[in-house]
Amino acid sequence: MGAARGGNSAAAPTPQHRPRFLCDTHLGKLGRRLRLLGFDTVLAQDITGGHPGGADAGDDALVRLARVEQRILLTRDRALLARPDLSQALEVPQAPVDTQLRGLLERLGLRHLASPFTRCTCCNTLIEPIDPARLPDLPPGVLARQDRFWRCPGCGRSYWEGSHHRRLQALVARLLHP
């Protein structure tokens, strides 16, 4: 990872203080990976309403949200990193997303704080176990093969332990136990 700003902003966190993140534009994939590991992460495009092709969130809005919600801003934008009103930020190097994520986990000592598969990767809300009888729109066959289901109360997305989940489990294992 690049240089930290804001004094001890990159100090190793305690389990009581799982850091929260704000990902600048172009780091959305890193942000969704952080959500997969259970870290509370807002994406810049969330602030703009997520419209495809919509304007990037203004720097002022990013800095304000980082400050108000005490989020670590992850960015590659040097001008943004240099802003004096930015409390916590880290520069993310240009690299494959899993390399970026491993660097972040290492730098902030985050591996023991991960809580994989607890958060919706689409909208950042904590997911909840749900009786599949309350999920009328499951693809055919899923109900017969799976017995544990979750739903995101934020966006309504359903989750279960299918083949996609198994691929993600392998990914999480590689990230947390390199």
- List contacts with Zn ion (CB under 5 A): 120, 122-123, 125, 152, 154-155, 157
Cα gap 137→149, rounded to integer Å: 13
User: Shortest gap between Cβ of 58 and Zn ion (angstroms)?
Assistant: 25
User: Shortest gap between Cβ of 122 and Zn ion (angstroms)?
Assistant: 5
Residue with tokens 């491993």: 102
Residue 50: other Cβ atoms inside 10 A: 13
Identity of the residue, 32 or 71, whose beta carbon is nearer to Zn ion in the bound complex: 32
User: Shortest gap between Cβ of 48 and Zn ion (angstroms)?
Assistant: 18
- Nearest Cα to 37, choosing from 160, 176, 153? 176
**Token duo for residue 85:** 């009103």
User: In this structure, what DSSP letter does residue 85 have?
Assistant: T
Identity of the residue, 81 or 152, whose beta carbon is nearer to Zn ion in the bound complex: 152
Identity of the residue, 83 or 157, whose beta carbon is nearer to Zn ion in the bound complex: 157
Identity of the residue, 100 or 124, whose beta carbon is nearer to Zn ion in the bound complex: 124
User: Shortest gap between Cβ of 156 and Zn ion (angstroms)?
Assistant: 7
Q: Beta strands 41-43 and 71-75: pairing type?
A: unpaired
CA end-to-end span of the chain: 17
